[in-house]
Amino acid sequence: MSADPSPAPTAAPAAGEIGLVEARDFHSRQPFAFESGQTLPGFTLRYETYGELSPTRDNTILICHALSGDHHCAGQHAGDRKPGWWNNLIGPGKAVDTRRFFVVCANVLGGCVGSTGPSSVNPETGQPYGVAFPFVTIRDMVRSQKLLLDHLGVASLAAAIGGSMGGMQVLQWGIEYPLFTKRMLAMATTARESAQAIAFNEVGRQAIMQDPAWNRGDYPREGGPRVGLAIARMMAHITYLSDASMDRKFGRRKKDTADRTGNSFDVQFEVESYLRHQGQSFINRFDANSYLYITRALDQFDLAAAYGSLEQAFAPVLGETLVLGFTSDWLFPPEQNRAVALALLRAGKRASYAELDTDLGHDSFLLESPELYDLVRGFLERSEKRVSDFSI
Amino acid sequence: MSADPSPAPTAAPAAGEIGLVEARDFHSRQPFAFESGQTLPGFTLRYETYGELSPTRDNTILICHALSGDHHCAGQHAGDRKPGWWNNLIGPGKAVDTRRFFVVCANVLGGCVGSTGPSSVNPETGQPYGVAFPFVTIRDMVRSQKLLLDHLGVASLAAAIGGSMGGMQVLQWGIEYPLFTKRMLAMATTARESAQAIAFNEVGRQAIMQDPAWNRGDYPREGGPRVGLAIARMMAHITYLSDASMDRKFGRRKKDTADRTGNSFDVQFEVESYLRHQGQSFINRFDANSYLYITRALDQFDLAAAYGSLEQAFAPVLGETLVLGFTSDWLFPPEQNRAVALALLRAGKRASYAELDTDLGHDSFLLESPELYDLVRGFLERSEKRVSDFSI
């Protein structure tokens, strides 16, 4: 591994805001064995940190991102209009308080925003790996993140926090590194990808792989199956919202430019325009092969199958868990979140489940919600003494 | 209009079954003006009938099909393994009893199973219409069906029955031909296509239109955007099922042929195999341009917008309505079905709503359910005297 020479940028942030941040790269130089048995000679994780590691090195919060997320979860990149994707949750004085916690977030292994993935150059060929990249699992993502945290000198996690695929990583953290992981906060997630969720992933993959430009995964960096990836994203985006929120946000409103007779297959409704925009902006920031790999990692996630039962999966867990479900989430519905907490309780672990009444669908975990902030804050502050009972 | 020379086939059906049936074509030779203002010099509807028209010509039940359905709703085509798509509901002694009712079902205008649609040859060019075909609405479908029923000598409808898009036609029948339509039985339907449903339709259309083989709608009969149409169908098929039914039917079971490590983008899970099969079989029976036209007809359906309010839309209705919703239908959820019945009641009409507790999703209306059969039978048998009060 190599240390990162680039220092964090300094700037005068707005009150309560992190201000300017920059990503860094962690290069692991030791061979990495994937769960599949395949190996890489090393890998890179692109990551960001906010706040300071405490002298006791036990104030770290790891943020785990979802399918289309990345390491830039808070603060501002120079020149960007928007802050990181979870900036409403993370910052000085916010629910994840960077005055107190050292927050780390890394783009996942297999991703395409700086971390090693199928779009990275295979040193053996000088070409992108494409589908020669090893298959990635949620556990592989977690194990690679552990090497990053070791490199940063982190002694233990005050918490791992994530929604959706991030929540899967959080659960895997508690299982894989029980002494290290003091708290798990998993939102809008599941212990097993359902048939319906696999089905949506498969349609997205087919849209990509049936696009002639996919070319069995072999395409130039700026090319590739842009049409297929946009279709996959448009469809997936519907599953992140809810019927009610789409009705409120768009309803049946028509675009000003729409043919008022409806006699056109061009954009008629605002919701069509919105979806097309989602598809188009996605293809400029995401790699189609990464989409295949990461959706496959989601599909393969099934803790009960991997460990014999959900209770056996959670048997090693030492940390305390809070699972949050959202009433309008139909991709990873409340029942699936509740089932995680119940299995932890049956396994004799400290776990709670809370359900937030939102109509924003799966993406509810990303949205501004004082109720959510209070639950996160309370979970991070409570019972520190008891959690530290098993500290090494 | 021309009479149909082909007589119904005769065969010895199994007890309680209709037996062999054959489709016929109704050719309307008078100009047809679409709601869009476009016209055709005439059109063809392919249809089937079961049972006999009574001497009083008032025992007809019109079956209205859904997006991917057709005129073959009951009985058996010579050589086919499967009977018509609603054969469990329709037949001698069944809920829609062909010993008593004359049942008619026609492929919709704009369709691709014998009725005039975008894949029909434009007499002016000798080529398929493609996207030069007039835009079709639910009301256009209904108005064309009325010409067929006039041709068949039907004096009034004992009932119009349909699910999903068929239910929209049923509601439109009650509005458009109030004296003619004695009963409306609408299932798993809505009075307005929601933003979420429009969104799914739009993704399907984009999958088709972005397929290079679509070629702006100009493709040979056996070619066309087969990849895009298969993607559209795979996605739509998920919306016809439910999370619970997919979990029960497929769960996370893997195909025997699957790579047990999951290290492949080929089929791993049974649900993937099922969806691919759905996509592949659809492209052999459905025209991509018809898919565009019919989904646009669904999107445009909004009775409240068309008539000022839902109550105003239903003001002309004279018949009695039963609306059936299904608890697990998330495409046209129970609330949207209930809203139809409530608006009818507010408009002073005879209407009921019943909700069936199923976990089979939107397609519940097609499945074997004695509870459903009893409701249909009861609705068709009850209050004939009162309904006939307004008979002309």
pLDDT at A386: 53
Query: Which residues, listed in sequence order, are joined to residue A127 by a DSSP beta bridge?
Result: A122
| Confidence check: pLDDT of B260 > 70 | no
Q: What is the chain B residue with the closest CA to A234?
A: B203
**What is the distance in angstroms between the Cα of A165 and the nearest Cα belonging to chain B?**
18
| SS3 assignment, position B13 | coil
What band does A261 get if pLDDT is binned at 50, 70 and 90?
Answer: low
ipTM of the complex: 0.92
| SS3 assignment, position A102 | strand
Structure tokens at B387: 């309904």
Q: What is the DSSP string of A156-205?
A: -EEEEEEETHHHHHHHHHHHHSTTTB-EEEEES--SB--HHHHHHHHHHH
What band does B391 get if pLDDT is binned at 50, 70 and 90?
Answer: very low
**A24-193+303-390 and A198-246+274-295: identical CATH topology:** no
Tell me which of B381 and B3 has the higher pLDDT: B381
Which of B250, B275, B299 minimises the CB distance to A269? B299
Chain B contact set for A269 (CB, 8 A): 195, 198, 202, 299
| Confidence check: pLDDT of B263 > 80 | no
B21-54 confidence digits (pLDDT tens)? 999 999 999 999 999 999 999 999 999 999 999 9
Query: Which residues, listed in sequence order, are joined to residue B302 by a DSSP beta bridge?
Result: B192
| SS3 assignment, position B205 | helix
What band does A382 get if pLDDT is binned at 50, 70 and 90?
Answer: confident
Q: What is the chain B residue with the closest CA to A259?
A: B36
DSSP symbol at B125: T
Which of B203, B247, B302 minimises the CB distance to A252? B302
Q: Please, what is the Cα angle at A53 between A51 and A56, to 5 degrees?
A: 145
The percentage of residues in chain B with a pLDDT greater than 70, rounded to a whole number, is: 93
A201-216 confidence digits (pLDDT tens)? 999 999 999 999 999 9
A264-307 confidence digits (pLDDT tens)? 899 999 999 999 999 999 999 999 999 999 999 999 999 999 99
| Confidence check: pLDDT of A6 > 90 | no
Q: Are B40 and B32 in contact (CB under 8 A)?
A: yes
Chain A contact set for B292 (CB, 8 A): 265
**What is the distance in angstroms between the Cα of B190 and the nearest Cα belonging to chain A?**
14
Interface of A with B in 99-128 (CB under 8 A): none
Q: What is the chain A residue with the closest CA to B233?
A: A203
Total residues found in chain A within this entry: 392
Dihedral pair phi/psi, residue A338, rounded to 5°: -60, -40
| Confidence check: pLDDT of B385 > 90 | no
A325-346 confidence digits (pLDDT tens)? 999 999 999 999 999 999 999 9
| Confidence check: pLDDT of A116 > 50 | yes
pLDDT at A257: 77
Q: Are A144 and A172 in contact (CB under 8 A)?
A: no
pLDDT at A252: 96
pLDDT at B154: 98
- State how far the alpha carbon of B322 is from the alpha carbons of A9, B186, B226, in Å: 67, 6, 38
B318-373 confidence digits (pLDDT tens)? 999 999 999 999 999 999 999 999 999 999 999 999 999 999 999 999 989 999 99
Interface of B with A in 163-192 (CB under 8 A): 192
CATH number for the domain formed by residue range(s) B198-295: 1.10.1740.110
Q: What is the DSSP string of A307-349?
A: HSSHHHHHTT--SEEEEEEETT-SSS-HHHHHHHHHHHHHTT-
The percentage of residues in chain A with a pLDDT greater than 70, rounded to a whole number, is: 93
| Confidence check: pLDDT of A384 > 90 | no
Q: Which of B28, B164, B245, B273 is catalytic?
A: B164
Note the pTM of the prediction, 2 decimals: 0.93
pLDDT at A383: 57
Do B199 and A36 count as a contact with CB atoms less than 8 A apart?
no
Max CA separation in chain B (angstroms): 70
Is residue B383 annotated as part of the catalytic site, yes or no? no
pLDDT at B5: 47
| Confidence check: pLDDT of B6 > 80 | no
Disruptive mutation site among B131, B139, B252, B280 for chain A (greatest number of A CBs within 10 Å): B252
Dihedral pair phi/psi, residue A391, rounded to 5°: -60, 145
pLDDT at B256: 83
| SS3 assignment, position B143 | helix
| Confidence check: pLDDT of A1 > 90 | no
Distance in angstroms between the alpha carbons of the first and the last residue of chain B: 25
- State how far the alpha carbon of B22 is from the alpha carbons of A109, A234, B18, B49, in Å: 59, 41, 11, 9
CB contact A246 to B (< 8 Å)? yes
Tell me which of A9 and A221 has the higher pLDDT: A221
Dihedral pair phi/psi, residue A234, rounded to 5°: -55, -50
Superfamily name and number for B24-193+302-390: Alpha/Beta hydrolase fold, catalytic domain (3.40.50.1820)
What band does A385 get if pLDDT is binned at 50, 70 and 90?
Answer: low
Do B235 and A200 count as a contact with CB atoms less than 8 A apart?
yes
Chain A contact set for B205 (CB, 8 A): 265
Token match 């991703």: residue?
A: A111
pLDDT at B257: 77
pLDDT at A222: 81
Interface of B with A in 308-367 (CB under 8 A): 330, 333
Instruction: Determine which of A4-13, A20-29, B287-296 has the lowest per-residue pLDDT on average.
Output: A4-13
B141-153 confidence digits (pLDDT tens)? 999 999 999 999 9
Among candidate residues B345, B365, B347, the one with its CA nearest the CA of residue B356: B365
Domain spans, chain A: 24-193+303-390, 198-246+274-295
Average of per-residue pLDDT values in chain A: 93
Q: How far apart are CA A167 and CA A138, in angstroms?
A: 10
- Write the class of the CATH domain A24-193+303-390: alpha beta
| Confidence check: pLDDT of A389 > 60 | no
Which of A37, A38, A263 minimises the CB distance to B36? A263
Average of per-residue pLDDT values in chain B: 93
| Confidence check: pLDDT of B179 > 50 | yes
- Write the class of the CATH domain A198-246+274-295: mainly alpha
Q: Please, what is the Cα angle at A224 between A363 and B264, to 5 degrees?
A: 75
pLDDT at B264: 81
Q: How far apart are CA B71 and CA B65, in angstroms?
A: 7
**What letter represents residue A39's amino acid?**
T
Q: Which residues of A participate in catalysis according to the annotation?
A: 164, 329, 362
